[in-house]
Amino acid sequence: MCSSILIVSIFMLAAVVQRISGIGFSLVALPLLLPVIGPLDGVALIIINSAITSLLMTIGSIKDVAWKPLLRLSIPSMTIAFPTIMLLYRAPISLVNFLVGVLLIACTLTLVFDVKIRRARGLGGEIVVGLVSGFMNATAGVAGPAIGAYSTSVGWSHRTFVATAQPYFIMSDVAVLAAKFVFRSDQGENFIDLPQTVSAVFGCVVGLLMGSQLYKWVRETVGRWSVIVVSGIGAVTTLAAAILDVA
């Protein structure tokens, strides 16, 4: 019961931040979920609900999607999910925690310093961004920061970024889930934990409803700094725990 309440609360907060700032769902949810259900199950739960949240947001913003960059970013992101998940399932859990902590810190720093990606324009740059974002999504469920840096570099408006990021997240998330299904260690185990998934979906729906109301009153910068604070604290905690575990 306590676990279900925690999961509802975590995903409610993550969905509110996502609705206000356009990114941050995974960066908020993952470090809070790690102590509750661990990295691999935590990432799977985030991926499922990230896709659902993005689908609901896409319905209202599809007219603003930049379709050509979307496809050029999505294909490499989906492709790299499979070898990444295959390697993660064969790695020690302490190593996975360490990698997640490092990626969370890297993502937080890109937001703090508003990192731009040089030479992001063009097919080659988009392929690299898609591969990096897809790897980070498969490893830690954090596809947003790389896409956010790309968006800033090519001069997208906030409206275009939010609209295009959502279908991108959907395609990247579906590829990660498919890879997890293919490479899961025990083919007889449940692919998802139903009670956890129901709790998370409920939290997301409530969070999106709350975020839609708060969006009218809360500045985008408030949502962005909320992501930075929560993910930064979680990243340091996760990395420290992983180092202590190895030591």
List pLDDT tens digits, range 5-30. 889 999 998 888 777 776 677 777 87
Tell me, what DSSP letter sits at residue 98? H
List pLDDT tens digits, range 89-108. 888 877 877 887 788 787 77
- pLDDT band at residue 223 using 50, 70 and 90 as cut-offs: low
The pLDDT of residue 184 is above 80: no
- Please state the rounded mean pLDDT for residues 195-221: 83
Q: How far apart are CA 115 and CA 152, in angstroms?
A: 8
Tell me, what DSSP letter sits at residue 142? -
List pLDDT tens digits, range 43-73. 788 888 888 878 877 887 788 899 999 999 9
Task: Tell me how far apart the 2 most distant CA atoms of the chain are, in Å.
Answer: 52
- pLDDT band at residue 170 using 50, 70 and 90 as cut-offs: very high
Q: What's the start-to-end Cα distance of the chain, in Å?
A: 33
Predicted confidence at residue 245, as pLDDT, reads 65
Predicted confidence at residue 80, as pLDDT, reads 95
This prediction has a pTM of 0.76
Predicted confidence at residue 188, as pLDDT, reads 46
- Please state the rounded mean pLDDT for residues 115-141: 79
Residue, of 6 and 1, whose pLDDT is higher: 6
What mean pLDDT is reported for the chain?
80
